[in-house]
Amino acid sequence: MTVRLANARGRAVLVVGEQVVDVERASGGRFGADPMAALAHWDDFAAWAAGVGASAATGALDERALDAPVPRPAKVFAIGLNYKTHAEESKLPLPTKPLVFTKFQNCICGPRADVQLMGSGYVDWEVELVVVIGRRGKAVAEAQALDYVAGFTVGQDISDRKLQFSDQPPQFSMGKSLDTFGPLGPAIVSLDAFADPNDLALTCDVAGERMQSARTSDMVFGVQPLIAYLSGLCTLEPGDIIFTGTPSGVGSAKQPRRYLQPGETIVSAIEGIGTLTNTCV
């Protein structure tokens, strides 16, 4: 049974249809209220959660109450130019190995959180599939890579292009790590929910206009190669996350260029996972 782990006002909950199950209460304290605790023991947690049905519900699902399902990731990896169409619109060659940068933990926020534009006037959107690690791994082989994944969630890699390209070399991590620049959610969805976890539709709308529409099969490096590459460099831990890159349609590549404005709403969606709805302030 598919596991959907969410964070409701700081408490781990399972989403079952239109209901939620409080993890700590339903498990009799076996698993704590902190969503990070479920990820730290993902194999045991997932085995238990798979048997939890709607009869254990402790309340109705209120998406306005949801926070980031991974509130405190130790490592936040992000991958640049990882869609063929995005490399093409950026007029850059395809990378021969993953272009890795980091986002800082402070940028992580929930699926309904406001995005603070900070007044630069050059803030951009990037819808992304986010991989959540569920098992400690070092030098993981591609063939076993999905065994280390707790599930997928939706992410927005909000980017201040003025800060990102303020100097040479570019300041990727700073331009993408301001407070609220990493909306995440609405839930972590286990891999059994997807017929092909490497071929999912993703979209991004800004102010009601479709800006991005693609499939993850356009990635230069899929989920398994990314896990193999990153785990070959450093040990992956439960709760680490990987923003896997964005397809074409970002504002900085449009003619004329188009950036986020106060009052606009960003709607980011991936099939089988759900939707982020973030208003710019």
Is there a single domain that holds both residue 63 and residue 80? no
* Average pLDDT, integer, range 43-50: 96
Region 12-30: what's the mean pLDDT?
97
Q: How confident is the model at residue 214 (pLDDT cuts 50, 70, 90)?
A: very high
pLDDT confidence of residue 119: 81
Q: What is the tens place of the pLDDT at every residue in 87-135?
A: 899 888 999 999 999 999 999 999 999 999 988 999 999 999 999 999 9
Same domain membership, residue 118 and residue 23 = no
Instruction: Note whether 209 and 255 are same-domain residues.
Output: yes
Give yes or no: residues 263 and 127 share one domain: yes
Residues 193-205: tens digit of each pLDDT? 999 999 999 999 9
Q: Does residue 81 share a domain with residue 61?
A: no
pLDDT at 169: 83
pLDDT of residue 211: 98
**Of 67, 90, 105, which one is at a domain's C-terminal end?**
67
User: 227 and 102, same structural domain?
Assistant: yes
Domain end among 36, 67, 98: 67
Q: Give the chain as a 3 state SS string.
A: CCCEEEEECCEEEEEECCEEEEHHHHCCCCCCCCHHHHHHCHHHHHHHHCCCCHHHCCEECCHHHEECCCCCCCCEEEEECCEHHHHHHCCCCCCCCCEEEECCHHHEECCCCCECCCCCCCEECCEEEEEEECCCECCCCHHHHHHHEEEEEEEECCEEHHHHCCCCCCCHHHHCCCCCCEEEEEEEECHHHCCCCCCCEEEEEECCEEEEEEEHHHECCCHHHHHHHHHHHCCECCCCEEECCCCCCCHHHCCCCCCCCCCCEEEEEECCCEEEEEEEC
Give the number of domains in the chain: 2
Q: Domain span at residue 42?
A: 4-67
| pTM of the predicted protein model | 0.97
CATH number, residue 259: 3.90.850.10
